[in-house]
Every structure is written in structure tokens, then in C-alpha cells.
Chain A
């Protein structure tokens, strides 16, 4: 059926029903699951990214006890696939649940097709 270039660094293979890294091909798990589970995860102090410019409570940097930056990396090539700004301990967001059956059904029905760039387009 083909492979979708689903996100900047994520491919979705509709035949094998697997997520993979668009850059290096690393397998990232079941297409019906959360691709983030196939990535490495790290917590960053926001001041490492947004360096304080001023002294005091308000510095241009987020307060590190209010928010943390969660980074998701491809375990093979190290691409930073996603980032999220979350309060400490806040549930990680599953940003995508692909409706595999619906996409396949619409391709099979000839409503849409996957073009050479891995993108869905009208089939007619």
C-alpha cells in the first residue's frame, strides 16, 4: 500500500504497520501504538535551552520548578524528533493515534493515494 512521510522525522509504513525514523529507518514500533515509545526520552532544565539573561526571578528563562523540557530522540541517529514543555510529572502527551484502518480503507476505495513524496492526495 505504501509508506507515508507522516511527520518531519517519522514514516508510517501501511504494509508492515510499523513506525520508523524518516532519516535512518530505525523501527519505532507498532503503527497502532504510540511512536514515542520507540524513542529515547530525556528531561532538560529549561535554563539549558533558554539561558537566563538577567538576574532575579524573571530572566527570559522559564522557571525550572514550573516547567521542564522533554526531548525525544531517535535511538539510532539521535535526531530530536519531538519536544514538549511540561510541568514536572505531567503525563506525556500521545500526540498521534493514527486510524490505520480508515486510511487504508480510503486508499483501497480509491478516494486517496500515496504520491511519490509519501503524501496523501486525491486519487482522482
Chain B
């Protein structure tokens, strides 16, 4: 075996040393020409991103859960358009692996298409697949292009590409190390057949998405060559290297403004796959010194025998989601911005598991990482002139609904519904609320498909989709609310469904500066009711179908609750597939500091209940007029402050009592030793 080690993968994220020739080329790139050149690369990857979405077949590809990128000849990421920033971490590792291992045999040639989806070799998880093409000019390798997206079928033991019951990588379907899948600008037919065989549940998704990646790589390759022709080889090579130099300088300058120190965040989750249990899914210790950052994950729970593990570079990818979106948003998406960042991953933690580990749900394993990086950087950044960019964590629910079967058009399908995951609420910001139903924390620029498109594509009906009241974390600035949707089987006798989610028993994200997190997410099904009959009655004037009506039992039948995550199971025509719940974002600041007028607006818009306005915000809203009672609000808030001062005790006194407790042993099977989180029972994977 020759898969790269953790150290090799992390080293590959660093920018290569420039050669004398490259530095000479850099000198040719003059101010003005440089900015125009940068914009040209922006245009190339933006065009590629559009081509990619329009060429893809699976829901995630169509939604834009993808990235299109340009690299220099050595494999350093120079610029990208996304989508989903976490993909940016993969190709530098893969290209440097190809250069090191395959330059002689089988060789790297003009017209090659290379491919991988294996997290062991640098990926995030195997649904995230990567096509790469070398760019040759005058016979020389001068650059690379890549296109990556999430395809929701891999031929695993369950449909959807993220099997919940996988206990090792051997149950996760297709895992391809970096390999050549095309030559002379054509994808090899035998390879395409292999993809079709792995993707037999959804052949079109798998093969069309694979072609879309290659098509996109080639479009950007052609545009790069046009620049080489027009501007000259030396200018283009100098431009790509200069972009790396400028990006690194920009990143270091930004970090240097933050306060030096050590920052920590700790998060928890409540399940490994479908097995409930308390997991400390991230202990992050961030040390900021000058223009350098170091992230240490010591203390994170051990690896577990589910697919909720992540290899180290996948963890870095999840940090990239936040860092490229919130911190380096005005710099190119570039390897160079991570040049001054180092990582420490303890062996055999769930964030650095054994090679045999299942990691297809690494995206769920990393929800705590996404929350922690937002929290640590926000704390370090608040005392700088960038404080307005500070934000509380996203909710990071990622509650994914997988459906499979034969569609109303007679076609096989296995997919993840893109709408619910793309309508989560944003974390509250330092100067404003989080956006309601803003999008997908993993994919800041993805888009929720139109309801009509989904109903046309899949045998589904969506009787309602609405903002989910009280789902935004309370705070001086409120977390954006998520959405609630009702999904019903339609036009086919049955389909199969499963749900990938945790956060039914506890929430993972930590809020910021005195706010609260979002609520937990129960799995809800309306049992004993044919929803289509219900809709027919509603159309005849017997009321409407709403989330609140469903919860209050207005529709008859039985509201059945469970954990949101569920095994694959059949759902008959007219029956509830699930009530989709897209989480809200976390809150920022003391809720008692929220402007009462803002709470009044929230209540009027049905985003916050009158009850929550009273209990958490201390705002008294008249249920008849919908207006704030100023006098009653002042009194209520004063009373809440008095309650705080009455129940609060000094830190040492609190800790003396608190530290004698621990959770019940029945939920501690995944945690590791208490409270260190060290390995207690090594995972055995035959």
C-alpha cells in the first residue's frame, strides 16, 4: 500500500517553493496587468462553475455543491469558484501524489483525465469526487484544472453515498485512489462502465456527474490555454505564482491584526451513525501568534466503529468552509492562505482514524469542527478592526434526507434532497441577525432548488415549506431561522427513505458571547393519514396544511417522533416521508440586549413565538395588537436580571460541586475516558 500518510497530506497543503524560473516570470507581471490577470482567472473558474452546475445530474451538483479550480504546474491551488469550499483542500494533495507516483509510470500526458474519491488519498468522503486535467503548453506541463462535486451514490451498503451502518471503508462502495480514467481528451469506456456498475441504483447520476467533472476541467483548461497564447507563457506562469505570493501576504497580514493568545472551543454530538451516545466531536485549541495559527485537536473523542469519522485533511476541509467564507473572503481561494496554519491531530481520534475506518459521514463527524473554528477565530478577531466580520456558529445540522427507488418516469434514482440542507439559518453576526433560511453551512453559495423542480424530478409532494418558528438561537442578534417541510410519497407505489442526522438529543454548535443555540431536531412522521386526501380537503376549503397545524394534531392521525436519523425503509404513496427540519443558526450576545422592536417584528413574521419573546428576550408582546408593551418589558427584563444575580454563584463554588458529576455510563460508549477522551476500547475492524 502506498496511500499518503497524514504528514504527507498535510504537507501537500503547503505551497511549493518557487523555482528561479518562476520568480523570473513573476517579475514580468506588472501592476495593472496583475489585477487584470487575476480577474481573468476569476472569470475562468466562474464560467467553469456555471458549466458544471448545468452539466451535473445529481441534486448536489445541480445545487452547486461543487468547486472548480486552477493550479500551478506543481499542484498548488491558485484560484477557485465555489460552491463548497471544503473541496479546495483535496486536489493539491491528489495532484502532488500523481506527480510523485505516476510521472514515470503511467506518465502524465496532454489529454489525460485523472480521478479520485478516496478519503485515504486526500478526499473528504467518497461521494465527493474529483476530476483533474493537466494543462500542457508547447509540450510543457504548465498548470492543472480540477472539478469536484458531491454525487449521492457510491454503491455502498445503503443508497445515498453516506451509509449509516458502515463500520469500515469496505462497506462504503466505490473508493478510487488517484487513477487515470481518460486519455486523449476522452473518458475510457471501460472506466465509464465501472462507474455505471458501482452506481447501478442511479446510473445517470453517477455517469453524468463524472462526465460533467471532466467537461468542466476541459473548459477551464481551454480558457487557461487561451491566456497562455494571448499573454505569453512566462506571463501566465508568473501570474499563477504571484497570486500565491499575494494571497499568502494578504492572509498573514489579516491574521496579524488579531489578538495573540490561545482560544478554545469544545463541542458534542449525540450519535455515531444510528447508535446514540455522547461524543466529544471536537476539542479545538487554537494558538495565534503574530501571523501564525496552530490548531490542536487533542481531547477529541476516539474513532468509533461507524462512518462518523474523518481523516485529517477532511477536517481541514471543514475548517476551509468557514475560513474561505468569513475570513479570507476577499482573497483568492488558494493554498497560500493556509501557508501560515499548522495542525495537530491525535492518532486514533475520530478526526484521525485508522486507514480501515469508515469515513463516508465525515461531514457529520466534522460539525463540531465547523462550529469550533467559527468560535475560536471570532474570539481572536473581535478585538481587531475586523470585528464586524465576527459571527456565531452556523447550526450545522446537515440533516440529509436520502430517497431511492424508481421514479414516476420509470428511472432508477438514489439521491439526497438538496432543498432541506440548503435552507438552514445563518449564525448571528456581530452587527446583525443571521439570515433566515440562508443556505447550507457546507456550501455557502449553493442554492435550494425550486419545489416544482424537485416534484418533477422525484416522486415527491411538498405540501408545505415554511420558516421554522423559534429555530434561530436567541441572542442580542438572533440566529437565522431554518425551515420545516413536509415530504410525501407521490406518483409511485412506494419509495425508500433514510435520514442522516444527529442533534436529536443535544445540539452540537456552541453559541457566542452569551447567546443560545438552536433547538434539537426530532424525527417527525404523521402516521395514519393520507396526506393527499388531506390536501384535497384543504383545497375544498377545509383549512390549510401547515407545520404548526401538523404539530398540534389538527390533521388527525398520530404525530410519531423518534431521532431524526433513520434506517432505510419504505414509504407508501400518500404517506409522510418525513418532516424535514433545517436547523437555525446560533445566537450572539445576551438576549436581553435585543431591541424589543426587533422582537416585535420577529413575532409579526412568525419567526419567534410570543412565548419565547417573553421567556428568553424578556419582551412582552400583546397577543391582540402584536405590539410591545414597553412598561411590562422593562419590568420583565429587570426581573430576569434579578433572577440571574440570585441564582449565579462564584466560579470556584460552582466548579466544586459541578466537577463531582458525570453523565450516565449508558451513553458513554463512544466518549473515551472521562473527561480526557482517550482511547478506552480500540476499534476492531476485520
Bound pair: A and B? yes
Q: Do A60 and B520 touch (CB < 8 A)?
A: yes
A60-92 CB contacts (< 8 Å) to partner B: 60-63, 65-67, 69, 71-73, 75, 77-92
CB pair A66–B385 under 8 Å, yes or no, is no
> Across the interface, do B513 and A9 meet the contact criterion of CB distance under 8 Å?
yes
| B270 contacts A by Cβ under 8 Å | yes
CB <8 Å contact, A62 and B507: yes
Q: Which residues of A contact B514 (CB under 8 A)?
A: 8-9, 71-72, 79-83
* Contact partner, A83, options B278, B289, B516, Cβ 8 Å: B516
Interface flags, B632-647, vs A, CB<8A=1, else 0? 0000000001101101
Evaluate contact between A61 and B261: CB separation under 8 angstroms. Answer: no
Residue A111, interface by CB 8 Å: yes
User: On chain A, which size bracket covers the interface?
Assistant: 35 or more
Q: Are B658 and A71 in contact (CB under 8 A)?
A: no
Contact between chains at A4 and B383 (CB < 8 Å): yes
| Chain B residue, CB-CB nearest to A59 | B522
Q: CB distance B658 to A89 under 8 Å?
A: yes
Render B487-523 as a binary contact track against A, CB cut-off 8 A, 1 for contact.
0000000000000000011110011111111011111
Q: Are B262 and A99 in contact (CB under 8 A)?
A: yes
User: Do A37 and B616 contact each other (CB < 8 Å), given the known contacts A7-B382, A102-B289?
Assistant: no
**B263 / chain A contacts, CB cutoff of 8 Å:** 95-97
Contact with A along B230-265 (1 / 0, CB 8 A): 000000000000000000000001001111111111
**Interchain CA distance A89-B482 in the complex, whole Å:** 31
On chain B, the residues within 8 Å of A49 by CB distance are 474, 516, 616
Contact A62 B506 (CB under 8 A): yes
Distance in angstroms between the alpha carbons of A21 and B392 in the assembled complex: 20
Complex CA distance for A68 and B342, rounded to whole angstroms: 33
Partner pick for A111 among B256, B589, B664, CB 8 A cutoff: B256
**How far is B476's CA from A91's CA once the two chains are assembled, in angstroms?**
27
In the complex, what residues of B have CB within 8 A of residue A87's CB? 268, 278, 662-663
CA distance A35 to B336 in the complex (A): 35
Shortest B665–chain A CB gap in Å is: 12
Tell me the complex Cα distance, A69–B510, Å: 10
B366 at the binding interface (Cβ < 8 Å): no
- Hey, which chain B residues are within 8 Å of A53, CB to CB? 551
Neighbour of A7 across the interface among B253, B504, B513, B648, CB < 8 A: B513
A-B contact count (CB 8 A): 230
Q: Known: A49-B516, A89-B658. Contact between A6 and B522, CB under 8 A? A: no
Q: Cα distance A87–B508 when bound, in Å?
A: 12
Residue of B383, B506, B652 near A37 (CB, 8 A) is: B652
Contact B562–A92 (Cβ < 8 Å): no
Contact A119 B387 (CB under 8 A): yes
Check if B649 sits within 8 Å of A112, measured CB to CB: no
Is A41 in contact with B289, judged by CB distance below 8 angstroms?
A: no
Q: Indicate if B266 sits at the interface (CB-CB under 8 A).
A: yes
| Chain A, 1-21, CB within 8 A of any chain B CB | 4-9, 12
| Contact between A85 and B590, CB atoms less than 8 A apart | no
Asked if A84 and B510 sit within 8 Å, CB to CB, the answer is yes
Please, what's the 1-or-0 string for A29-50, where 1 marks a CB less than 8 Å from any CB in chain B? 0000000111111110000111
Given contacts A36-B651, A42-B647, A93-B264, contact A80 B615 (CB under 8 A): no
* Complex Cα spacing A118 to B609, Å: 37
Would you call B213 an interface residue if the criterion is a C-beta within 8 Å of the partner chain's C-beta atoms?
no
Docked pose: A118 CA to B256 CA in angstroms: 16
Q: Tell me whether A120 and B257 are in contact in the complex, defined as CB-CB below 8 angstroms, given that A42-B644, A87-B268 are known contacts.
A: yes
Q: Is the CB of B519 within 8 A of A67?
A: no
- Whether A54 pairs with B650 at a CB distance below 8 angstroms is no
Q: Shortest distance in angstroms between B449's beta carbon and chain A's nearest beta carbon?
A: 27
Residue B655 CB within 8 A of the other chain: yes
Nearest 3 interchain pairs by C-beta: A40-B648, A89-B661, A58-B522
- Could you name 19 residue pairs across A and B whose Cβ atoms are closer than 8 Å? A6-B259, A7-B513, A8-B430, A12-B383, A37-B651, A37-B652, A42-B649, A60-B519, A62-B507, A73-B645, A78-B644, A81-B513, A85-B506, A92-B651, A92-B655, A94-B264, A95-B265, A96-B263, A120-B258
- A residues neighboring B (CB under 8 Å): 4-9, 12, 36-43, 48-51, 53-54, 56-63, 65-67, 69, 71-73, 75, 77-99, 102-103, 106, 111-112, 115, 117-122
